[in-house]
Amino acid sequence: MKPERKLAQPGEAGADATQDYLYLANLAELVTTLTSRLVNPESGAIDGEINNALQRIGDFASVDRSYVFQFSEDGEWVSNTHEWCAEGVAPMMDQIQNAPVDQYAWAMNRFKQGEVLYAEEVDDLPPDAEGVKSELRRQGVLSTLNVPLISSGRVLGMVGFDAVRQKKAWQTRHIELLKVVGEIIAGAIERCRAHRTLNWQVEMETLVARASSRFINVSVAALDDEITRTIAEIGRFTGVDRSYVFRFDGDGLLMSNSHEWCAPGVVPHVDRLQGLPLDFFGYSIPLMKRGEIFYVEDVSKLPPQASAEKAEFEKEGIQTLINVPITMRGAMIGFLGFDAVRERKAWSAHDFRLLNLVAEIFSNAFERKDTEDRLQASLHEKELLLREIHHRVKNNLQIVDSLLYLQTQAIREHADPASIEAFRQSQSRIRAMAAIHDRLYRTPDLAAIDIREYLGILVPDLLSTYSADTRIGVEILGDSICLGIDRAIPCALIINELLTNSLKHAFPEGRTGRIEVSFERDSSGAFRVAVMDDGVGFPTGCPWTDFKTLGLRLVRDLATQMDAEVVFEGDRGTRFVLSLE
């Protein structure tokens, strides 16, 4: 880059009107050149163009340091954002970041009113400017010129020029030209801010839209993980240090930190912030219950009535926070929060709207989860009730069984054997049904019965009833197969009747033998159970359907009730096959 032409400075010995004119003309030419570069820079090049302008003006004017300061959005803080220093002059930018405006109140008030601060000798600044004077002396400044950065009537900060090694005098005409430079820099900063804000808003809206679409299809079981994922994404994008969700308990008296994300190196607090009384936060909670966002850009400036909140926030090292109420059916159920710990964070009205949308998404998720929890609780209550019903039915059947047993004992000496056998068979049928209800009471599935488990209870009971457990062996073949309750009970009664028939008639006069019960599902899903014995079999030439015993009549009737088929084979012993589609 071609070095700027340096002429004798105005006010120096030997400087005449011609030199004065040439200096002004060259400064005006430089300002025009810089203006053309600053008017429409690419968004990513604005910082480079500002630094270039500071260097060229500083070099042209023979100052030692030039810089730009910008105010925070709320005007409470000021930071040195750009700086150029002549060779051998120490930079100061890193030392002046997020400084409170009140520290330099005299100067900042002038800038906010659009006034220039010019001191050819720093020591000549008025007593009201003692804070500014002390800072300039600390930096070794002899002369200073600060021009406000004004765009659309709003003061964004100031551009300054300091002389460190020797005093520097500025003429009014020069200052007017530098005010133009300040306006151009301010305009460039404003456009850059607008562009960055627009990009930020678009990216934030995209992030929220993606999160919203994920919540549409996420399962209830995965909702908590999705909430944590979403607050982590927003936390990382916005540059905060901690994001979280608090939920109120059912009575609305306590609140707990239910979800939390922390940036690397930031201490989590989720385990500590459990069961906190809402009344303790008497400033922020009532505000949010009115539907307002609780936003604190500077925790140290919270009012006295927020002393409880301030103490907790300072304990967590929070500088800035925003809490967004989460409401359900018009009532607040918790809040969404974001904390800035390492440096302050500014949030805009547009951010508020998007965070309110996120809170609505979380509210819908919590409502889904609460509804599912209520349904599960209701289902659990119904399961308990149904189990109790099965338990009582079983108990009542056992009472009936006991009554029949007592009645049998009472008439045993006077009744004929056929009557006694009828009572015993009735007891067997009742116990078969009681066993079904007992299994339903004890198993996790209230709608189905494992046939193998059921037979493991039924067979020993029947063998004991007919005193056959030492001479007749019963083998159960088949894997665990479950039948719905509407088919399990009639199927169990049929198996009971067929087993009873074999135990009573297949092995007369104390014969020994074997009974086999097998069951399976075929490839079409049909259920088949077979009861087979190697006993004496049915009389030759006599179909089993011709027998009029109550037991076999029950087998036929129950099979018809289930739309099932019973097939009989009697070549060697007997074999009944029950088929259910």
Give the 3-state secondary structure of residue 480: coil
**Which position has the token pair 């500025």?**
170
Q: Where are the domains of the chain?
A: 17-196, 227-347, 361-446, 449-581
The upper half-sphere exposure of residue 448, i.e. CA atoms within 13 Å in the direction of its Cβ, equals: 10
**pLDDT at residue 185 in the model:** 87
Rounded Cα gap, residues 54 and 61, in angstroms: 10
Work out the average pLDDT over 232-256.
93
Work out the average pLDDT over 204-224.
89
Give the 3-state secondary structure of residue 42: coil
pLDDT band for position 12 (cuts 50, 70, 90): very low
In this structure, are residues 502 and 574 in contact, taking their beta carbons and an 8 Å threshold? yes
- Secondary-structure percent of the chain, ordered helix, strand, coil, rounded to 5: 50, 20, 25
**pLDDT at residue 44 in the model:** 63
Task: Specify the CATH superfamily of domain 17-196.
Answer: GAF domain (3.30.450.40)
**pLDDT at residue 446 in the model:** 66
In this structure, are residues 37 and 56 in contact, taking their beta carbons and an 8 Å threshold? no
Window from 100-104, 225-229, 262-266, 303-307 with minimum mean pLDDT: 100-104
pLDDT band for position 290 (cuts 50, 70, 90): very high
Residue 122 scores a pLDDT above 80: yes
Work out the average pLDDT over 119-137.
90
Work out the average pLDDT over 539-561.
77
- pTM exceeds 0.85: no
Rounded Cα gap, residues 145 and 66, in angstroms: 9
Residue 395 scores a pLDDT above 50: yes
In this structure, are residues 474 and 515 in contact, taking their beta carbons and an 8 Å threshold? yes
In this structure, are residues 208 and 62 in contact, taking their beta carbons and an 8 Å threshold? no
In this structure, the number of other CB atoms found within 10 A of the CB of residue 145 comes to 24
Residue 1 scores a pLDDT above 50: no
In this structure, the number of other CB atoms found within 10 A of the CB of residue 469 comes to 14
Rounded Cα gap, residues 112 and 74, in angstroms: 13
**pLDDT at residue 9 in the model:** 45
**pLDDT at residue 100 in the model:** 85
Report strand pairing: 294-296 vs 276-277: unpaired
**pLDDT at residue 109 in the model:** 85
How high does pLDDT run on average in the chain? 85
Rounded Cα gap, residues 348 and 431, in angstroms: 75
CA angle 99, 103, 107 (to 5 degrees): 105
Residue 3 scores a pLDDT above 70: no
Work out the average pLDDT over 237-244.
94
Residue 242 scores a pLDDT above 70: yes
Residue 510 scores a pLDDT above 80: yes
In this structure, the number of other CB atoms found within 10 A of the CB of residue 458 comes to 23
**pLDDT at residue 190 in the model:** 85
**Which position has the token pair 């020993």?**
460
Please write the tens of the pLDDT for every residue from 177-200. 888 888 888 888 888 888 888 888
Q: Locate 167 and state its tokens.
A: 């005093």
Residue 580 scores a pLDDT above 90: no
As to burial, measured by CB atoms within 10 angstroms (0-12 exposed, 13-18 middle, 19+ buried), residue 136 is buried
Q: What is the CATH number of domain 449-581?
A: 3.30.565.10
pLDDT band for position 375 (cuts 50, 70, 90): confident
- How large a percentage of the chain has pLDDT more than 90? 32
**pLDDT at residue 188 in the model:** 84
Q: 227-347 and 449-581 share one CATH topology?
A: no
- Which range, 51-60, 287-296, 451-460, is most confident? 287-296
Please write the tens of the pLDDT for every residue from 62-96. 899 999 999 887 788 889 999 999 999 999 998 88
Residue 55 scores a pLDDT above 60: yes
Residue 448 scores a pLDDT above 80: no
Structural domain 227-347, CATH architecture:
2-Layer Sandwich (3.30)
Window from 47-56, 189-198, 233-242 with minimum mean pLDDT: 189-198
Window from 166-180, 347-361, 477-491 with minimum mean pLDDT: 477-491
CA angle 301, 303, 306 (to 5 degrees): 110
